[in-house]
Structure 1
Amino acid sequence: MPIYVYQVINPDGSEGDCFEIEQPMSDSALTKHPRTGEPVRRVYQAPNLATRYTPKGTQKKLETKNVERAGFTKYERDKLTGQYHRTAGTDKRAPDVINP
């Protein structure tokens, strides 16, 4: 079930505290706070889609086969020499080693 954010409407019309509540999508929006009975309004927010930019997903996108398929050249730094060696890419204009 989704979690919705609601905000209390103070008697003077100003914005009050926010709270979250787990609620089925089929239920209508709350108009009163479940505990205090104060008037509330639903605060619309962007959904949290954790599957879009995860560390594992990013790592998979940067795999050698995916980088080459997209037409890019990938370099990795050698910790001993500080040089960058080409690990992906077939462009003949790109050097094999880059010295910083």
Structure 2
Amino acid sequence: MPLYVYEVVLPDGSGGEQFEVIQRMSADPLTKHPETGEPVRRVFGEPNTPRAWTDMQGKAAVSDKNLAAKGFTKYVKTGDGTYDKTAGTGPKKLKRGK
């Protein structure tokens, strides 16, 4: 359920104290403060949307330093069936058996 922000409407029409209420999208907006009974109006705020993922963030997420810090081991193929470790713990080389 969404979190809505309301504000108390002061006698001069300006906005007063703000408070948050979790309510269904299908519910009617509040017209009175649930505790004091003062008139209120819903305030439209900035939506909380995720940021776009950039190439730079992607490269940083899979960098050798970041992978090692997260406990992963990364190997890079160097030849036919041979892999060298570039990050993390584990054997320095892996060789595929034939």
1:46 to partner: Cα distance: 2.4
Change (3 A) 1:13 1:44: same
Where does residue 18 of structure 2 map in the other structure? Answer: 18
Where does residue 59 of structure 1 map in the other structure? Answer: 57
Change (3 A) 1:63 1:36: closer
Q: CA RMSD in A?
A: 3.1
Task: For residues 38-96 of structure 1, give each alpha carbon's deviation from its aligned partner in whole angstroms, at most 9, with x where no partner exists.
Answer: 000000112112xx2278986227789xxxxxxxxxxxxxxxxxxxxxxxxxxxxxxxx
Where does residue 95 of structure 2 map in the other structure? Answer: none
Where does residue 41 of structure 1 map in the other structure? Answer: 41
For the pair shown, the structure with the greater C-alpha radius of gyration is 2
In 1, Cα distance between equivalents of 2:32 and 2:42: 10
| Letter in structure 2 aligned against 1:37 | G
Q: Which residues of structure 1 form unaligned runs of 5+? A: 65-100
Q: Which residues of structure 2 form unaligned runs of 5+? A: 63-98
In 2, Cα distance between equivalents of 1:16 and 1:40: 9
1:11 to partner: Cα distance: 2.2
- The aligned length equals 62
Percent of aligned positions that are identical:
53
Where does residue 4 of structure 2 map in the other structure? Answer: 4
Structure number with the higher strand fraction is 2
In 2, Cα distance between equivalents of 1:25 and 1:19: 17
